[in-house]
Amino acid sequence: MTTVTYMIPNISCGHCVHTIQTEIGEMAGVKSVKADMVSRETVITFEPPATEEKIKALLAEINYPVAA
Ligand SMILES: [Cu+2]
């Protein structure tokens, strides 16, 4: 099990938080997703088959790319 924290600058409101938590939460292997509207940090806990690469790719696809 791995936990990562990503800074996602595009988070601007509760809808963004909901979208991220729903979309990433549906990925196989993702155990929990907690996005914060104020800090714009998102904490994701996952295990295989989910990978950081897949999570970042999906975030970019739904228009919430992780800060470099
Ligand atoms: Cu929003």
Under 8 Å between Cβ of 66 and 6: yes
Single-letter amino acid, residue 44: I
How remote is the CA of residue 3 from the centroid of ligand 1, in Å? 24
Encode the chain (68 residues) as per-residue pLDDT tens digits: 999 999 999 999 999 999 999 999 999 999 999 999 999 999 999 999 999 999 999 999 999 999 98
pLDDT tens-digit series, residues 33-43? 999 999 999 99
CB of 43 closer than 8 Å to CB of 4: yes
Q: 15 CA distance to ligand 1 centroid (A)?
A: 4
Taking the centre of ligand 1 as the mean of its atom positions, its distance from the CA of residue 61, in whole angstroms, is 16
Residue keyed to tokens 């690469």 = 53
- Distance, in Å, from the CA atom of 39 to the CA atom of 28, rounded to the nearest integer, reads 26
Q: Does the predicted model carry a pTM greater than 0.85?
A: yes
For residues 5 and 41, the answer to whether their CB atoms sit within 8 Å is yes
